[in-house]
Amino acid sequence: MEQLVQELKEHLIEELNLEEITPEDIDAAAPLFGDGLGLDSIDALEIILILEKYYGVKLANSAEAKPVFYSVNSLAEYIMQNRK
């Protein structure tokens, strides 16, 4: 799980162009959306792509996925449960 969280942070930084942010800057338990990282609805769609691309996990749409998208930890949990 810890390794997955670290890996997810790296994917988020790379794919969402979070320049000047390091994995250590991201609190895995803190809300992803809102003020912190400045993520928006386009980033949510990009996170869906990350889940598909790296973990083969599909999500229908970002509206259904609100609890999953809460934090890096919740994303990691979802991947653990749904990864094939």
Partner 1 sequence: MAKQRVDIYLGASAMRTCLGDKAQTLAAMNEGKSGLSYQSAWGMYAGCSQVAAIEGYTRFEAMIIAQIADVVQQSGVQLSDADTQLIISTTKGNVELLAEDCDNIPPRAFLYASAERIAAYFGCVARPVVISNACISGVSAFVVARQMILQGRCRHAIVAGADALCEFITSGFASFKSISPAPCRPYDAQRDGLTLGEAAAAVLLTTDSALADSNIRLAGGAITNDANHISGPSRTGDGLYYAISRAMAEAGVGCDDIGFVNTHGTATRYNDEMESKAVAWAGLDCKPLNSLKGYIGHTLGASGVVELILCAESLKQDYIFGTKGFESSDTPHKLQLSAGAQSIEGRCCVKTASGFGGCNAAVVLDMGAHQGAEIACRGVKQVAEYTLPQSELPFAQFIREQFRTFGQSDMKFYKMSDMSKALYVAVERLLAIEGFGDVEPTRRAIVLANCSASLDADAAHQQILNSHTAEGASPAVFVYTLANVAAGQMCIRHKIQGDNTFFIESADSGTAEQYARTLIATGVADAVICGWCDYLKGNWSVDVKLLKND
Does position 40 interact with partner 1 (CB under 8 A)? The reply is yes
Which position among 29, 41, 67, 80 is part of the footprint of partner 1 (CB under 8 A)? 41
Residue 61 as a binder of partner 1 (CB under 8 A): the answer is yes
Q: Determine, following the binding rule CB under 8 A, whether residue 22 of this chain makes contact with partner 1.
A: no
Considering the rule CB under 8 A, would residue 83 count as an interface residue with partner 1?
Answer: no
Count Cα neighbours of 19 within 13 Å in the Cβ-side half-sphere.
0
Query: For binding to partner 1 (CB under 8 A), which residues are involved?
Result: 16-20, 37-38, 40-43, 45-46, 48-49, 52-53, 61-62
